[in-house]
């Protein structure tokens, strides 16, 4: 039996209490499981006057595939459930609509990680409510509502999955399916919820100092949760891979950063540093684990499956899922884990078109 790390967060003090409140499933070093697949989707919205019917793609095409295909045990929702400027994300009606999609239409376990459109961007001047009226709202209030409505334990989870959520950060989850550890971390676009660019103020309603403090706490919680997942994977010989899900793209190209550096190195070197701690920890942990690691994210347009740190962490892979105005013919990513395949431990094809994810993230081609 493995003890679970339960995180307690008193005001001004951060410490870890070791508590035997959950039995982590331990299957032994020789319990290699066959390959399996799951679905990842997010950023399902499009530009005005688009030829794509996003509602149909998500509710009829993607959802039906998830519900009816017995070989799909669960899905991961990468957040950005809509757009603040059209009333489809920054209100409780939008959250409840997404929850109903998971529970009543997909009818499979759906694990969610929040996106910037779901809370950090809700204080923008053009934010609309569900009735189409301009109504910018506190981003911190919207985060509270996201946690209230969208962080329940997903339906249909078997006890053998060892599902747990981080205390005070219920959007951060860990579970195990077969021989793979899965983890969600709350890391979002728009500078990771921080006000870092003087030319582009991000905190427009809430107190800036409070927002910054809460961002620090969230990053510290993410770091502890990430280390916990990798500790579980390292200590259990039956675990053969780790899969992570966040909303932000930490590897988006940055002007002024060494173009010859790897994507992971560019992330660490970014002058604003919004994802520096995460990328630094990820590189170190993935480099030491000696097991395949997959980071799945959304937020940017290129749809691709590549390796962001081929030398420092050769077993680290990245999937930028379909969405964010792009690759709607794929709809969502059907991700296959074949941890025993050293050359290609992770594969991704479009859920709707069956085409493999491109092997290179081409921002200039995204549209």
DSSP 44-79: ----TT-S--HHHIIIIIIHHHHHH-TT---EEE-S
Give the pLDDT band of residue 22 (cuts 50, 70, 90): very low
> Among 63-77, 133-147, 185-199, 353-367, which is the least confidently predicted range?
353-367
Give the pLDDT band of residue 199 (cuts 50, 70, 90): confident
pLDDT at 17: 33
**Euclidean distance between CA atoms 281 and 26, whole angstroms:** 25
Give the pLDDT band of residue 50 (cuts 50, 70, 90): low
Report residue 286 as tokens. 């993935």
Q: Write out the H or E segment, with its range, that includes residue 150.
A: helix 139-150
Report residue 188 as tokens. 């979002």
Q: Domains of the chain, with CATH numbers?
A: 33-365 (3.60.21)
Q: Please name which of 153, 158, 150 lies closest in space to residue 73, comparing C-alpha atoms.
A: 158
Of the ranges 254-268, 272-286, 303-317, which is most confident? Answer: 272-286
Report residue 255 as tokens. 């002007």
What is the pLDDT averaged over residues 333-340? 94
Q: Please name which of 56, 49, 10, 42 lies closest in space to residue 297, comparing C-alpha atoms.
A: 42
Whether the pLDDT of residue 27 is over 80: the answer is no
> Among 52-56, 162-166, 313-317, which is the least confidently predicted range?
52-56
> Among 121-125, 308-312, 362-366, which is the least confidently predicted range?
362-366
Which is more confidently placed, 57 or 4? 57
Give the pLDDT band of residue 30 (cuts 50, 70, 90): very low
216-221, long-range: CB < 8 A, 24+ apart: 217/9, 217/14, 218/169, 218/186, 218/193, 219/192, 219/277, 219/278, 220/14, 221/7, 221/9, 221/166, 221/168, 221/169, 221/172, 221/186
127-134, long-range: CB < 8 A, 24+ apart: 127/84, 127/85, 127/90, 128/84, 128/85, 128/86, 128/87, 128/90, 129/87, 129/90, 129/91, 130/87, 130/91, 130/93, 130/94, 131/87, 132/87
Whether the pLDDT of residue 288 is over 90: the answer is yes
> What confidence tens digit (pLDDT) does each residue in 91-116 have?
999 999 999 999 999 999 999 999 99
> What confidence tens digit (pLDDT) does each residue in 182-198 have?
999 999 999 999 999 88
pLDDT at 323: 82
pLDDT at 46: 60
pLDDT at 208: 95
The span from the first CA to the last CA of the chain, in angstroms, equals 49
pLDDT at 32: 57
pLDDT at 34: 81
pLDDT at 366: 40
**Euclidean distance between CA atoms 119 and 122, whole angstroms:** 5
pTM above 0.85?
A: yes
What is the pLDDT averaged over residues 25-54? 74
Whether the pLDDT of residue 358 is over 50: the answer is yes
pLDDT at 147: 98
Question: For residue 356, what are the CA distances in angstroms to 292, 329, 342?
Answer: 19, 12, 18
Whether the pLDDT of residue 351 is over 50: the answer is yes
Q: Write out the H or E segment, with its range, that includes residue 146.
A: helix 139-150
> Among 48-52, 131-135, 137-141, which is the least confidently predicted range?
48-52
Give the pLDDT band of residue 25 (cuts 50, 70, 90): low
pLDDT at 102: 98
């Amino acid at each position: 039996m493995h003890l679970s790390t339960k995180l307690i967060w008193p005001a001004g003090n951060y410490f870890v209490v070791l508590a035997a409140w959950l039995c982590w499933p331990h299957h032994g070093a020789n319990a290699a499981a066959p390959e399996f697949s799951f679905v990842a989707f997010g950023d399902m919205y499009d530009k005005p006057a688009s030829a794509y019917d996003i509602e149909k793609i998500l509710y009829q095409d993607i959802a039906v595939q998830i519900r009816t295909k017995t070989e799909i045990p669960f899905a991961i929702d990468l957040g950005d459930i809509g757009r603040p400027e059209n009333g489809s994300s920054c209100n409780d009606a939008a959250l409840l609509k997404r929850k109903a999609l998971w529970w009543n239409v997909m009818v499979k376990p759906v694990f969610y990680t929040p996106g910037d459109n779901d809370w950090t961007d809700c204080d923008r001047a053009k934010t609309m409510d569900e009735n189409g009226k301009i109504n910018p709202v506190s981003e911190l209030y919207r985060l509270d509502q996201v946690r209230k409505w969208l962080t329940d334990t997903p339906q249909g989870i078997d006890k053998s999955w060892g599902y747990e959520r981080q205390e005070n950060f219920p959007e951060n989850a860990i579970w195990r399916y077969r021989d793979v550890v899965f983890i969600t971390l709350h890391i979002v676009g728009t500078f990771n919820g921080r006000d870092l660019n003087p030319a582009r103020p991000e905190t427009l309603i809430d107190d800036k100092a409070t927002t910054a403090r809460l961002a620090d706490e969230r990053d510290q919680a993410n770091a502890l949760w990430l280390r916990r997942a990798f500790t579980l994977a390292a200590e259990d010989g039956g675990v053969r891979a780790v899969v992570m899900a966040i909303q932000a793209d930490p590897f988006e190209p940055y002007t002024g950063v060494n173009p010859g550096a790897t994507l992971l190195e560019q992330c660490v070197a970014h002058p604003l540093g919004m994802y520096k701690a995460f990328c630094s920890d990820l590189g170190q942990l993935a480099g030491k684990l000696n097991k395949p690691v997959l980071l799945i994210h959304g937020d940017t347009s290129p749809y691709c499956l590549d390796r962001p740190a081929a030398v420092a962490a050769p077993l680290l892979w990245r999937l930028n899922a379909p969405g964010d105005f792009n690759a709607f013919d794929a709809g969502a990513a059907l991700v296959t884990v074949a941890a025993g395949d050293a050359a290609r431990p992770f594969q991704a094809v479009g859920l709707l078109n069956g085409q493999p994810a491109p092997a290179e993230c081409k921002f200039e081609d995204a549209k």
